[in-house]
Amino acid sequence: ITADQLNEAGHLLIGGCDAIDLAHEYQTPLVVYDVSQIRQQIRAFKRVFEENDVSYAVSYASKAFAAVAMYQVVNQEGAYIDVVSGGEMYTAIQAGFPMERASFHGNNKSYDELVMAVKHHVGVIVIDNFHEIDLLSQVLNELDAKTKVMIRITPGISAHTNKYIQTGQVDSKFGFDLASGQADEALQKVLANPRMDLIGLHAHIGSQIFEVAGFEGVANKLVEVADHWQKKFGYQAKVINVGGGFGIRYVKDDQPLRPEQFVDAIIKAIKKAVQPTNLGKPAIWIEPGRSIVGPAGYNLYTVGSRKDLPGLKSYVTVDGGMGDNIRPALYQAKYETVLVSDPQAPFTEHVRLAGKYCESGDILCQDQALPKTKPGDVLAMLDTGAYGYSMASNYNRNPRPAVVFAENGHSQVVIKRETFADLTHLDQPYEQN
């Protein structure tokens, strides 16, 4: 937290709004996004393409955080989106997002989802497997329609990240395998279908990746496959889609490049790799999720109970936890948390920041340095904007928090806090026979 993120009272500012006021006005736990940070990151990605003079698409991987308001912001910035379910597609449609700027991913898209995508003219369907080729072909015949498609390959690159969020290694559920010839077979099937317009190929190596080498590797692999497809099958790829996965800084020890620096390296790698080929100047697409929304998000919590143990680290418990941010429990993800009323106050103790869920594993942070806190103090966990709310649950029947967008000193609820009534909304009494 730097001085420009504080107001005269010394409180944390989010989108120009005093975070103490936000906590009081909207209650906690609360998810707040600094919208201008989202816009700036999208613009930074676009700028790097423009500086390198390549045609491109910056496609926001909306699984990181999907909401009507979020799709509206992405649309205002002229970016693309990727969706991975009927639910994300529906939300984007509700937001009035121009679906020709959407791509649809997934390793088991259903018949209904494919029908929805084709009917709503989703820009490109990223084909993941043979079953999907058949299913999509059936849907296109039934609707007498055509669609643009891409083929997702498994690049065989193991990114150094948590194994649950690795996706590019050979032994993966996603995409067509290269070595066994599946990708070539998929290409021939797609090319043989006049209803499918194959615009290019896709790969994604994983998420929260810090090493440029992995991205250069996937860039080279995609060009290699495109070159092979041209030489062997006469197919000319127009788009190379390298996926997302650009790592962000969560804690002081994380020292990633800026997200747009990864992209710059990718662009340069592709430009170099296509030189000896006849591929010309393919467009380059990226699909960042985390790097667009992660740093822009803050989770606000209120401190409640405390447990001190002789010789052991104290537990300081807040009013949220694994229901609004599963990442610490699921991936041992680390975050930094500050005292909102005085984010730069010198810390006086190391505590375990615990959530309120009835489970020992619900620890938001195993080791957080903080000044001494008391019940009622508001804490902000930083960089929670990606895969936080989007992976939220009603575990323990806790209502999910509200989401607020803050920009230029104004704030607005964009997802309402769930009520107890919302929790039983779908429940039906059981009539015993």
> Can residue 165 be called a binding residue for ligand LLP (CB under 6 A)?
yes
Instruction: Identify which of residues 200 and 289 has a Cβ nearer to ligand LLP in the complex.
Output: 289
Q: Is 288 annotated as a binding residue?
A: yes
Q: What is the dihedral of CA 282, 283, 286, 292, to 10 degrees?
A: 150
**Choice among 3, 309, 358, 421 that is catalytic:** 358
Q: Which CB, 59 or 302, lies closer to ligand LLP? A: 59
The answer to whether residue 175 forms part of the interface with ligand LLP (CB under 6 A) is: no
Q: Confirm or reject binding of residue 324 to ligand LLP (CB under 6 A).
A: no
Q: Note whether 240 binds ligand LLP by CB under 6 A.
A: no
Distance CA 312, CA 326 (A): 25
Q: 286, exposed or middle or buried, with CB in 10 Å at 0-12, 13-18, 19+? A: buried
- In the complex, least distance from residue 105 CB atom to ligand LLP, rounded to whole angstroms: 5
Please state the closest distance from residue 187 (CB atom) to ligand LLP, in A.
19
In degrees and rounded to multiples of 5, residue 255 shows phi and psi of -130, 60
SS3 assignment for 129-186:
CHHHHHHHHHHHHHHCCCEEEEEEECCCCCCCCCHHHECCCCCCCCCECCCCCHHHHH
In this chain, which stretch among 48-56, 211-219, 285-293, 334-342 interacts with ligand LLP, using CB under 6 A?
285-293
- Residues 275 and 271: their CA atoms lie apart, in Å, by 6
Which of 106/343 has CB closer to ligand LLP? 106
Under 8 Å CB-to-CB from 404, ≥6 apart: which residues?
Answer: 22, 26, 30, 31, 32, 33, 411, 412, 413, 414
Nearer to ligand LLP, 177 or 342 (CB): 177
Contact 30/402 with Cβ under 8 angstroms? Answer: yes
Near ligand LLP by CB under 6 A: residue from 207, 325, 341, 368: 207
Chain centroid to CA 330: 16
Among 147, 154, 158, 208, binds ligand LLP (CB under 6 A): 208
Using alpha carbons only, what angle is made at residue 108 by residues 199 and 266, rounded to the nearest 5 degrees? 45
Residues in the chain: 433
Site membership for ligand LLP, residue 327 (CB under 6 A): yes
**Binding of ligand LLP at residue 109 (CB under 6 A)?**
no
H-run or E-run covering 351: strand 349-354
Size of the site for ligand LLP (CB under 6 A): 21
359 annotated binding-site participant = yes
Taking Cα atoms as reference points, which of 279, 219, 273 lies closest to residue 245? 219
Does residue number 62 form part of the binding site for ligand LLP (CB under 6 A)?
A: no
Is 210 among the residues that bind ligand LLP (CB under 6 A)? no
**289 belongs to the binding site for ligand LLP (CB under 6 A):** yes
- Side chain identity at residue 52, one-letter code: N
**Residue 352 labeled ligand binder:** no
The smaller minimum CB distance to ligand LLP, of residues 196 and 386, is found at 386
Residue 369 engages ligand LLP in binding (rule: CB under 6 A)? no
Cα distance between residue 233 and residue 419, in whole Å: 57
Query: Could you tell me which stretch among 1-9, 215-223, 243-251, 416-424 binds ligand LLP (CB under 6 A)?
Result: 243-251
Does residue 290 belong to the site contacting ligand LLP (CB under 6 A)?
yes
Using the structure block, give the residue that is written with the tokens 């497997």.
129
Beta bridge partners of 202: 152, 241
Catalytic (active site) residue 358 = yes
- Give kind and range of the element (H or E) at residue 92: helix 86-94
Residue 400, annotated ligand binder?
no
**Annotated binding-site residue? 290:** yes
Residue 105 lies near ligand LLP (rule: CB under 6 A): yes
The smaller minimum CB distance to ligand LLP, of residues 206 and 282, is found at 206
Applying CB under 6 A, the residues found at the interface with ligand LLP are 61, 64, 105, 165, 167, 204, 207-208, 243-246, 287-291, 327, 331, 386-387
Question: Active-site residue numbers?
Answer: 358
Q: Can you say which residues are annotated as belonging to the binding site?
A: 245, 287-290, 327, 331, 359, 387
